[in-house]
Amino acid sequence: MKIVVIGGTGLIGSKVVTKLGERGYEVVAASPNSGVNTLTGEGLEEVLEGASVVVDVSNSPSFEDAAVMDFFQTSTRNLLAYEAAAGVGHHVALSVVGSDRLPDSGYLTAKLAQEKLIKESSIPYSIVRATQFFEFLKRIADSATEGNTVRLPSVGFQPMAADDVASVVAKVAMGSPLNGIVEVAGPEQFRFDECISRGLSARKDPREVIADPHARYFGAELSERSLVPNDGALLGETRFDDWLNRNAAAATAA
């Protein structure tokens, strides 16, 4: 069975490609570098020929509100149209826990718009909503930095390892379409500010993390459960401290 992974050379996509390949599937990693551009439609007809499943883990190169909305709507419309023409039987998309709770976030509003297009298409689908990745925690800190301080709200936070995200996405891709949403999160819940502080300390980063209830995340003010999954979410296996210990060098560079 042929599975095409859109965004297949990125952090999650490359892991999904490896996991599916190890299970014996014919897997194609599609990205602009391989001549496949979902914004323009370039290469889609060719790469989707004979495909049974498409996994979309692509991301917008810009997080500016208008640009990110244009990316997810245009690329998803193009992808679904070409999939319908090719007879693809299962569309799997990676989304974000909280995308339906934060209307002030341009990025998450765009992800919700992407989900809507998928649900309204004729193609059977599965949507995997994941919490934030351990690999992006330094980037989160950087975006919230003012001078030598990091301001973040002290709300619930349940991040997870990218490898665990990829495992769930690959498992969903190998199964029957859910025609619904599954949530996935890390095995531990933290306070947002405390988790980022622990991550910075492990990197010997001197910045001070300050709890600020009005600090915004992706443009939105957060409530206690904005970023944590609902009951019944699948939980990854990797604990935060174990990931930090195994990925010290990668964490420093992330």
HEC profile for the chain?
CEEEEECCCCHHHHHHHHHHHHCCCEEEEECHHHCCECCCCECHHHHHCCEEEEEECCCCCCCCHHHHHHHHHHHHHHHHHHHHHHCCCEEEEEEECCCCCCCCCHHHHHHHHHHHHHHHCCCCEEEEEECCEHHHHHHHHHHCEECCEEEECCCEECCECHHHHHHHHHHHHHCCCCCEEEEEECCCCEEHHHHHHHHHHHCCCCCEEEECCCCEECCEECCCCCCCCCCCCEECCCCHHHHHHHCHHHHHHC
pLDDT at 22: 97
Q: Sorting pLDDT into bands at 50, 70 and 90, what band is 237?
A: very high
Q: For 39-75, what is each residue's pLDDT tens digit?
A: 999 999 999 999 999 999 999 998 899 999 999 999 9
Is CATH 1.10.8.60 correct for 2-253?
no
Asked whether the predicted pLDDT for residue 250 surpasses 70, the reply is: no
Instruction: With a cut of 60, say whether residue 251 has pLDDT above it.
Output: no
The token pair that represents 246 in the structure block? 């195994």
Say if CB 54 and CB 34 are below 8 A apart: no
In this predicted structure, the answer to whether residue 133 has a pLDDT above a threshold of 60 is: yes
Q: What is the model's pLDDT at position 146? A: 92
Whether residue 145 has pLDDT greater than 80: yes
Q: What is the mean pLDDT of residues 4-14?
A: 97
Give the pLDDT confidence score for residue 219 in this predicted structure: 83
Q: What is the mean pLDDT of the chain?
A: 95
pLDDT band at 254 (very low <50, low <70, confident <90, very high): very low
Question: What is the pLDDT averaged over residues 128-133?
Answer: 97
Mean pLDDT of 105-124: 96
The pLDDT value recorded for residue 5 is 98
Pairwise CA distance, residues 88 & 191, whole Å: 41
Q: What is the pLDDT of residue 218?
A: 81
Arithmetic mean of pLDDT, 113-119: 98
Task: Provide the whole-model pTM.
Answer: 0.94
Quick one: tokens of 249? 């060098």
For the chain, the structural domain boundaries read 2-253
Antiparallel, parallel or unpaired: β 180-185 and 125-130: parallel
Confidence of residue 174 (pLDDT cuts 50, 70, 90): very high
Give the model's confidence band at 249: pLDDT under 50 very low, under 70 low, under 90 confident, else very high.
Answer: low
Which is more confident, 63 or 129? 129
pLDDT band at 253 (very low <50, low <70, confident <90, very high): very low
pLDDT at residue 194 above 60? yes
